[in-house]
Structure 1
Amino acid sequence: MKALSIKQPWASLIANGIKDIENRTWKTSFRGRIYIHSSLKKAGNLPNILTEEQAWYITSKVKEMPQKVDYMPFGAIIGEVDIIDCVINHESIWAEKTNGVIVGNEFHTNRDTKIIYNWVLANPVSYKEPILNVKGKLSLWDFPKNNF
């Protein structure tokens, strides 16, 4: 099955059904179930990397917003999720936006604008026991089911 390496805390937020978008600078035509791999690097401490709207959403979903991501597993397969779409400028609070205009079925930007693709995710499952000590890779990569 395919896997995607994602920095913490984003990986755990996806696995726990809080974050429904993964932002990438490349689009994917892949649709289906993937493993969520938490990379060895973290994106930062949760309170410092969230917008106000995202912080409010998390606090409405969980009792306390964690101040640190140190308790989250790193270098591990922590769950599964379905990729159901890949779009630009999704309405989700988790979607990074790209400046530009849609003309017909095409998205047009300035030459200097980096397009951010919003991978739409659904049906997350967080593993009670992560598969530890898994080295990640760039892009979508294969992780054999018989590894656990």
Structure 2
Amino acid sequence: MHQDMTDLFGGAPTIKALSVWEPWASLIAAGVKRHETRHWETTYRGPIAIQAARTLDLAGAPDQLCQDVLGPLWPKERPRGRVVAVAYLSDCIPTDRVLQELTAADREAGNYAAGRFAWRLDDIRPLTEPIPLTGRQGLFNWEQPQDLRERLEAPRDHHRACTKVGWA
């Protein structure tokens, strides 16, 4: 766990949050999507809440990966409008510099076109029960609940999660 993740529980009452369309947010929470790709760069590094936006992207969703990871209830039972995980945003890298280290799941679950940025997420910790939150554009502040620590599951190991579903 990154040192700054401990501050999540005893330091500032707010942390940064990012709205991510479904199924991408659930794939992050499951530990198989380690990079969130964006057309814009950020200098922020630290704890970040992953909010599953209300938008469900069925047209762009990698259907087989979603079925393998999210199960037979895909796409019906998706947590939308809720924080589904907390992670540590450790880097923001031009996509052309990250291609060699990607797993099959990461490749399938991201847009790595030229000119985009891969936001590297470490210490991904899903919530035992998603927390309602209205999303916003860009990074925004989220006032974390006092019991957030008790709501977090163990961190997801990216390679283990991908191997488990056959997407290493």
**Which interval holds the TM-score relative to the shorter structure?**
0.7 to 0.9
Structure number with higher strand proportion: 1
What's the Cα RMSD here?
2.4
1:22 aligns with 2:21: no
The structure with the larger Rg is: 1
> How far apart are the structure 2 equivalents of 1:138 and 1:147?
25
Question: For 2:52 and 2:146, how far apart are their aligned partners in 1?
Answer: 16
| Structure 1 CA distance for aligned equivalents of residues 57 and 89 of structure 2 | 21
2:25 aligned partner = 11
Q: What TM-score, normalized by structure 1, do the two folds share?
A: 0.73
Following the alignment from structure 2 to structure 1, what is the Cα–Cα distance between the partners of residues 24 and 144?
23
Structure with the higher fraction of residues in helix conformation: 2
Aligned 8 A contact 2:67 2:74 in 1: no
Determine whether 1:140 maps to 2:155. no
- Equivalent pair of 1:31/1:83 in contact (CA under 8 Å): yes
**Alignment match, 1:118:** 118
**2:61 is equivalent to residue 49 of structure 1:** yes
Percent of residue pairs identical: 27
Q: CA deviation at 1:96?
A: 2.6
- Aligned residues between the structures: 124
In structure 2, the CA distance between the partners of 1:145 and 1:67, relative to structure 1 (3 Å rule), is closer
Tell me which amino acid in the other structure corresponds to 1:96: N
Consecutive unaligned residues in structure 2, runs of 5 or more: 1-14, 148-168
Name structure 1 gaps, 5 residues minimum: 100-114
Indicate how the Cα distance of structure 1 residues 143 and 67 shifts in structure 2: closer, same or farther if over 3 A, else same. Answer: same
1:108 corresponds to:
none
Aligned to 2:74: 68
| Runs of 4 or more above 6 Å deviation | none
Which one scores higher on RCO, CA 8 angstroms, separation ≥ 6? Answer: 1
Q: 1:110 maps to which residue?
A: none
1:78 is aligned to 84
Q: d(CA) in 1 for partners of 2:63 and 2:57?
A: 14
TM-score by length of 2: 0.65
